[in-house]
Amino acid sequence: MKVVKWIFALMLLSASVAAQNAWADRGHFHHHGHAHVGVVIGAPLGWPWWYEPSYPYYYPYQPIIVDPGPTEYIERDQPRAADSDASNYWYYCQKPDGYYPYVKECPGGWERVTPQPPAPRH
């Protein structure tokens, strides 16, 4: 039993010496170029107590992308020829003699006439 006490006391002493070397710079990490020698008996068990706990890594939120879908093109019909031709002609009636809109009704039918500028006055 005496031997066990001496072994335990020796282990406690060596652990306290190792702890002093570990805390020699008190976290400021000043290394001045001198060597440290230590004796380790057995393998270390568990993690050292001064490590900070690790936290899980959370992936960032994925951006929300809304697909606008395919582009739709709406084709419009070309204007009808009759509509475009109607504005390019004057309508003449022989009985009563005159042009639309001055003559409202033409019993003999309207005659399409190409518009002409008025004759110059002398």
Element containing residue 99 per DSSP (H, E):
strand 98-99
Q: What is the DSSP letter of 91?
A: E
In this structure, the chain runs to a length of 122
Task: Give per-residue pLDDT as tens, 8-50.
Answer: 888 887 877 665 555 555 555 555 566 666 776 776 666 556 6
Across 47-69, average pLDDT: 80
> Cα angle vertex 52, ends 14, 21, to 5°?
25
Task: Give per-residue pLDDT as tens, 87-104.
Answer: 688 889 988 888 888 898
Compute how many other C-beta atoms are within 10 angstroms of the C-beta atom of residue 82.
7
Quick one: residue 52, left, alpha or beta (phi over 0 = left, psi -120 to 50 = alpha)?
Answer: beta
